Amino acid sequence: MERKDVEVFAEASNYAIVRMPGRQFPGYVVQGDSLSILCSLAGLIHRNVTRLGDDELADDAAELLGFLEDRLKHYEQVLAENKIELPYVKPR
């Protein structure tokens, strides 16, 4: 971990907007527990549209799920490396 100065445009509970050094545009901070919920919802949508047989929508849902899962895995890895507990229980 390293400390850096970031520009904070908004810091409301789940609606933080910050700009990292060297970036042109601000980014939206998603808390880990919210990221986990988004990932679960994307998985549910993917399973449902796959069951319905809409291949194009299922592909889009799979892409969204993969995008979110990659970020969640990275989040979990970084917290583990820094010995920080997850703010949610991982499903088995």
For residue range 18-44, what is the model confidence (pLDDT) as tens digits?
Answer: 999 999 999 999 999 999 999 999 999
Does residue 68 surpass a pLDDT of 90? yes
| 1 or 41, higher pLDDT | 41
Tokens of 11: 């810091």
Q: What percent of the chain has pLDDT over 90?
A: 86
In this predicted structure, what is the pLDDT of residue 88? 92
Q: Is the pLDDT of residue 91 over 90?
A: no
Dist. CA 77–CA 35, nearest whole Å: 14
What is the 8-class DSSP label of residue 21?
Answer: T
